[in-house]
Amino acid sequence: MHIMEGFLPVEWAVFWSILSVPVVVWGFFKIRKLFAESPEMKMSVALAGAFIFVLSSLKLPSVTGSSSHPTGTGASTILHGVAITSVLCTIVLVFQALLLAHGGITTLGANIFSMGIAGPFVGWLAYRGMMRAKLGLVPTVFATAFLANFSAYIVTALQLALAFPTAGSVMTSFITFFGIFAVTQIPLAVVEGVLFIMFFDYLARTRPDLLKGKLNLRPKDSNAPVKAVEA
């Protein structure tokens, strides 16, 4: 899902950077406030960042100038929201661009927007809706992780289509990119959803206190009954 170094025209690289910067700055302030009020949350943020780094580093070839991979943003979206997730993605993307030749500095803004902002935002909307509906851990976690991944690749396809319209048609280009991405990204999104179900199920059974207020846990989800919470 990363757009590779030098692939976007400069005007689009600047455009996506301008859209991404305010959210990332907001996220830095939120992390600073979170750590000041709850220093014990540093481990949770670090764990969420580790998921993003490890999963997003699993690169599979896709369309020319891009790649497909899990995003790993589902856990951070549930535990910390979109703004903090955007900061974690920024750190990961800079590290990957400089040391792993994955993505790039010139396309950093576009990659942050698709993977760290747009995808998590859609996942967060699904998460909030399912929390309000008081659905259980499995559907909530799967929908959040799946949509955070799936939406990011849709936005990436749009970014490429806007930069490289086919015969002047953005829609034609979008359909082309969308179709090529779908071959690898949909199965990856499903796998990511299942992986995070396993992770959150483990937390629910061993440390349900960490998920209080984050998920609607049923008695069967943990070793001790935990009251369902409002979103």
**pTM of the full structure:** 0.88
The answer to whether 102 and 59 have CB atoms below 8 angstroms apart is yes
- HSE-CB of 185 using CA atoms within 13 angstroms: 30
Count of structural domains within the chain: 1
Q: Which domain holds residue 66?
A: 10-221
4 in a domain, yes or no? no
1 in a domain, yes or no? no
184 in a domain, yes or no? yes
At residue 177, what is the residue type?
F
Helix 137-163 crosses helix 10-37 at what angle (to 10 degrees)?
150
CATH number at residue 14: 1.10.1760.20
50 in a domain, yes or no? yes
Token digits of residue 115? 């993977």
| Residues 73-119: tens digit of each pLDDT | 999 999 999 999 999 999 999 998 888 777 788 899 999 999 999 99
- pLDDT band at residue 131 under the 50/70/90 scheme: very high
